[in-house]
Amino acid sequence: MAERSRFGTWLRRLIPALLGAGLLYLTWRLVSNNDAPVEVDFLFVRVELVLWEALLGSFLVGALGVGVVTLYQMARGGLVSRRYRKRLANLETEVHQLRNLPLSPETVDPAPGPLAGSGGGPPTEP
């Protein structure tokens, strides 16, 4: 059993290392194969960049846009969820209060309590 545990630990360390090495290799290939200069026109400014820089910049701008939209949706969903949780808590409280109410006036005990006749009730006319 200990041998299996060591293999799992070794494998958990090897997989991220291989993925990192693969990412480094792909980055190196992207930079080395896309080193041609390109001119990028931003409405009022023209900039000359290396192709891989333009590709990286466009990827980052797109990722930023997706991230902003995702954060907005997550915040909105969290607020809606919070509103529903509050509403549910209020409804549960109401159900609990309704459970504790008597069903009909016949179920109320007509026997007088200890304060009957001691002036604890509503005043009567003479």
Q: pLDDT (tens digit, 0 to 9) for every residue of the chain, 126 residues total? A: 556 678 888 888 899 999 999 999 998 998 998 889 999 888 899 999 999 999 999 999 999 999 999 999 999 999 999 999 999 999 999 999 988 887 776 655 656 656 555 555 555 665
**pTM > 0.75:** no
**Sign of the CA dihedral 11, 14, 16, 22?**
negative
Element holding 37 (H helix, E strand): strand 37-42
* Tokens, residue 38: 């390109």
* Tokens, residue 91: 């409804």
> Measuring CA to CA, which residue among 70, 47, 72, 74 is closest to residue 58?
47
